[in-house]
Amino acid sequence: MQGYLGIDVGSVSTNIVILSETGQMQHNLYLRTHGQPIAAIQNGLRSIMEQFQDLEVLGVGCTGSGRRLTGVLSGADLVKNEITAHAVAAMYCHPEVQTVLEIGGQDSKIIVIRNGVVSDFAMNTVCAAGTGSFLDQQASRLGVAINDFGGLALKSENPVRIAGRCTVFAESDMIHKQQVGHSIEDITAGLCESLVRNYLANVGKGKEIREPVLFQGGVAANAGIRAAFEKQLEVKLIIPEHFSVMGAIGSALLAREEMLENPRPSSFRGFTIADRHYITSSFECTGCPNMCEIVRLTDDSGLLANWGGRCGKWDSNGVVPGKAATAAANNAAENTYIDRAKSLC
Amino acid sequence: MRCTFPHMGTMYVAVESLLEGLGHEVIVPPPITERTIELGQHGAPETACLPLKINLGNYIEAMENGADVILMGGGVGPCRFGYYAEVQREILKDAGYDFDMMVLEPPKGQLSLAWQRFKPLLTKVSLSETLAAARLAWAKAQIVDDIEKMTHQVRAFETVRGSATAARSKAIAKLRQTKHRQNLPQLLEEIGTLFQQVPVDLQRQPVVIGLVGEIYVMLEPFANRQLERLLGEMGVLVRRSSFLSDWLRGQFYSLLRFDMQKKARLLAGPYLPHFVGGHGLESVADSVNYANNRVDGIIHVAPFTCMPEIVAQSILPKVSADFDVPIMTLVVDEHSAEAGIITRLEAFTDMVKRRRTGRA
């Protein structure tokens, strides 16, 4: 079997999908990142290797907040930001889509699509009060499993109003509502409504939300949030079949597009990466008073990449995934890197 | 009298030259780093805008290197900036620093008093030397802007990442070393050669993104988290709406109380017919101007809590809709996280590129 891999490493979940040569979904995985992106990727790839022993990888794309690490680790052909990846996946599943609402672990975004092109987007800026982590945290405070949370909210007949601008104030407001005796159903429903209100006021502000509206990201699993959106927006939401792995689908589609446009063998490092030992270490660069924290990724074969510097002097010996740089260009980059380091630090 | 002044991008090249020409010892503050911000935010009010904090850090680091006179712009309005110098002086005095602060602002009341104040600054050398210093500094301010423009232009086409940035650094270093006006033509040629040596791929058709917004965060790469370099290295041809010499010219004319906003009011008129403080009006006007000139996208930068830019920000979506050009606002302060900015810039650049090709 031949196929494209898409890997989305986010704050909460790590998702991997396999798309066929023609872009059809073959397999998808949703794993918890647990703060260990490398282990999560390795576990995911190991399970794919066991299930699909004859898989020939034609291209790899990665996205998510861990895209850079993943790109180096996997030898990705393409590394893209989450917004592009989500938009591409949404349009692939529902070509007529005009608005995408996406709520993930620690970020939330809105993407406005007109005539098949992203025309505007916004992402949460100052705080994460409208995201999955906020829900997670509040659910555990209420002693409700996150999977039951949405169902519980739907049972409410009279949702309470909760101050949702900031997690800390929301929590004190919830405690207050509990103390005066509101039921847990009403509080969970109130929380869903406050999250949606916060999202629409911060992220969705000034955006024209036209139907069809797709709702994707891990939080789309939550029936309470879905209901709150439909109530406040007065539209019917479409939840794509693979709503929780849309970022991974998008990055696989983008990798496919890239490989078809610039045909070449994939730079995928092979499934053996699942069994290698990776070591990340960090150190403070003392080149200037910025004291950047440089992260260094090594495996059995030696240094893979550094990143984290402001001036760029540590970046150049990292691999730039997706760009087949020639040896000459690399040499030149090495020389300018020395000059640049001297001039900047 | 060892003079210092705050950083704003490449302004130090011109100001250093002017002060040296006036016969003073100049202590240029060390380049802005995280330490600068840390020092500055210590004494500053939490909700003050970012430039105030960076300025403070500059003064402190310069005083550590021996500076004892601080030169600072001021004036009537146009926003909190007009009162920066006063606030900064009080903060530093409270923290126990010993220094003299000279605020350059339009004289009010008796001119003779103002003359007394600035006499030590201007009377160290002869009148002809003073004029020569001013002319050299002004020439340098313009050349430094040319260097910036060349960097923007070349960076979008460079084939080896970072080579345009390296050429820029070398060019600025050379400019700093030039002490006489008659050497400038020779220097310009050398600078031209530096940029011609950058390997480029002229077949590229980069998307064009215009930068508008508050002047300090637009001119100071540390404040805007290297916005121009990041965009350029993503293959974007960056256009910037305002340069150092524009700002200096504005400061100078406002000393003489000229109306500098006529053109801006004309352009921004349908959206914002009057002054709203700071560069709010200019941000709207520049966006309209870019939209008229068919850029592919516009990025609006502002420091957190900047009132004039908040006004502009709320108007820009209308400009964006009328001209069908994407506009993104980027708000920065000392807490800005690099990763978040990079993701947004990448997403915006992608969107702009894909809009052009009509894909996804």
Enclosing H/E stretch for A194:
helix A184-202
A contacts of B358 (beta carbons < 8 Å): 116-117
Nearest to B187 by CA among B176, B202, B196, B198: B176
Alpha helices (runs of H) in B178-293, residue ranges in sequence order: 184-196, 215-219, 227-233, 244-255, 262-268, 280-292
Its ipTM equals 0.73
B contacts of A339 (beta carbons < 8 Å): 166, 170
Q: Whole-angstrom Cα distance, residue A37 to residue B329?
A: 31
In a shared domain, residues B277 and B250: yes
Asked if the Cβ–Cβ distance from B165 to A337 is below 8 Å, we say no
In a domain, B130, yes or no: no
Q: Give the domain extent around B63.
A: 2-124
The reported pLDDT for the residue numbered A332 is 43
- Using the CB atoms, write b or e for B234-254: b if 16+ within 10 Å: bbbbbbbbbbbbbbbbbeeeb
The reported pLDDT for the residue numbered A342 is 43
Overall average pLDDT of the B195-211 stretch:
90
Overall average pLDDT of the A191-204 stretch:
85
In a shared domain, residues B353 and B210: yes
Q: Whole-angstrom Cα distance, residue A26 to residue A84?
A: 22
Enclosing H/E stretch for A344:
helix A327-344
In a domain, B224, yes or no: yes
Q: Whole-angstrom Cα distance, residue A108 to residue B109?
A: 55
Nearest to B31 by CA among A38, A287, A9: A287
In a domain, B217, yes or no: yes
Beta-bridge partners for B200: B158
The reported pLDDT for the residue numbered B342 is 85
Q: Whole-angstrom Cα distance, residue B353 to residue B234?
A: 11
- Across chain A, mean pLDDT equals 81
| Residue B60 near residue B27 (C-beta atoms within 8 A) | no
- CA B78 to mean position of chain CA atoms: 16
Residue A317: pLDDT band (50, 70, 90) is very low
Residue A111 makes CB contacts below 8 A (sequence gap 6+) with A83, A86, A87, A90, A99, A100, A102, A118, A120, A121
CATH 3.30.420.40 residue ranges in chain A? 2-88+246-273, 95-239
The reported pLDDT for the residue numbered B167 is 92
In a shared domain, residues B144 and B175: yes
Q: Which residue has the tokens 């650049």?
A: B349
Q: Whole-angstrom Cα distance, residue B63 to residue B65?
A: 5
In a shared domain, residues B186 and B218: no
Residue B338 makes CB contacts below 8 A (sequence gap 6+) with A310, B225
The reported pLDDT for the residue numbered B259 is 66
DSSP B318: H
Asked if the Cβ–Cβ distance from A118 to B31 is below 8 Å, we say no
In a shared domain, residues B67 and B189: no
pLDDT digits (tens, 9 = 90+) for A95-126: 899 999 999 887 889 999 888 888 888 887 66
Nearest to B181 by CA among B145, B126, B133, B147: B133
> Which fold would CATH assign to domain A95-239?
Nucleotidyltransferase; domain 5 (3.30.420)
The reported pLDDT for the residue numbered B255 is 64
More confident residue, B258 or B141: B141
Helix axes A82-93, B338-357, angle to 10 degrees: 40
The reported pLDDT for the residue numbered B140 is 92
* B245 has a pLDDT exceeding 70: yes
More confident residue, B107 or A281: A281
pLDDT digits (tens, 9 = 90+) for A21-39: 888 888 888 888 888 888 8
- CA B19 to mean position of chain CA atoms: 19
* A268 has a pLDDT exceeding 90: no
Both tokens of residue A271?
């499934």
* B65 has a pLDDT exceeding 90: yes
Find the CATH number of the domain harbouring B238: 3.40.50.11900
Q: Whole-angstrom Cα distance, residue B202 to residue B206?
A: 10
The reported pLDDT for the residue numbered A139 is 84
The reported pLDDT for the residue numbered A284 is 82
Asked if the Cβ–Cβ distance from A121 to B351 is below 8 Å, we say yes
Asked if the Cβ–Cβ distance from A88 to B346 is below 8 Å, we say no
The reported pLDDT for the residue numbered B240 is 92
Residues 224-253 of A with CB under 8 A from B: none
Overall average pLDDT of the A82-87 stretch:
91
Å between A63 CA and nearest CA of chain B: 10
The reported pLDDT for the residue numbered B359 is 58
Overall average pLDDT of the A261-290 stretch:
82
Residue A72: pLDDT band (50, 70, 90) is confident
pLDDT digits (tens, 9 = 90+) for A137-186: 888 888 888 888 888 888 888 888 887 667 777 788 888 888 888 888 88
Q: Whole-angstrom Cα distance, residue B299 to residue B207?
A: 13
B360, closest residue in chain A (CA to CA): A117
In a shared domain, residues B244 and B331: yes
| Residue A178 near residue A224 (C-beta atoms within 8 A) | no
Nearest to A25 by CA among A303, A242, A265, A338: A242
Domains: count for chain B: 3
B contacts of A119 (beta carbons < 8 Å): 326, 351, 355
Residue B107: pLDDT band (50, 70, 90) is low
* A282 has a pLDDT exceeding 50: yes
- By the CB < 8 Å criterion, does A87 face chain B? yes
| Residue B204 near residue B235 (C-beta atoms within 8 A) | yes
In a shared domain, residues B224 and B195: no
* B130 has a pLDDT exceeding 60: yes
In a shared domain, residues B236 and B319: yes
| Residue B68 near residue B46 (C-beta atoms within 8 A) | no
Find the CATH number of the domain harbouring B69: 3.40.50
Most A CBs within 10 Å: which of B220, B344, B350, as the mutation test of the A interface?
B350
CATH code of the region A2-88+246-273 = 3.30.420.40
In a shared domain, residues B12 and B100: yes
Residue B358: φ, ψ to 5°: 75, 20
The reported pLDDT for the residue numbered B203 is 85
Burial of B330 (C-beta count, 10 Å sphere; 0-12/13-18/19+): buried
Residue A312: pLDDT band (50, 70, 90) is low
More confident residue, A213 or A172: A213
The reported pLDDT for the residue numbered A338 is 41
In a shared domain, residues B90 and B48: yes
* B47 has a pLDDT exceeding 60: yes
Nearest to A39 by CA among A59, A65, A19, A66: A66
pLDDT digits (tens, 9 = 90+) for B247-260: 888 777 766 666 66
The reported pLDDT for the residue numbered B58 is 94
pLDDT digits (tens, 9 = 90+) for B224-234: 888 999 999 88
In a domain, B129, yes or no: no
The reported pLDDT for the residue numbered B256 is 67
In a domain, B339, yes or no: yes
Å between A269 CA and nearest CA of chain B: 24
In a shared domain, residues B255 and B328: yes
In a shared domain, residues B175 and B233: no
In a domain, B54, yes or no: yes
* A247 has a pLDDT exceeding 50: yes
Q: Whole-angstrom Cα distance, residue A134 to residue A103?
A: 11
Residue B6 makes CB contacts below 8 A (sequence gap 6+) with B29, B54, B55, B58, B59, B72
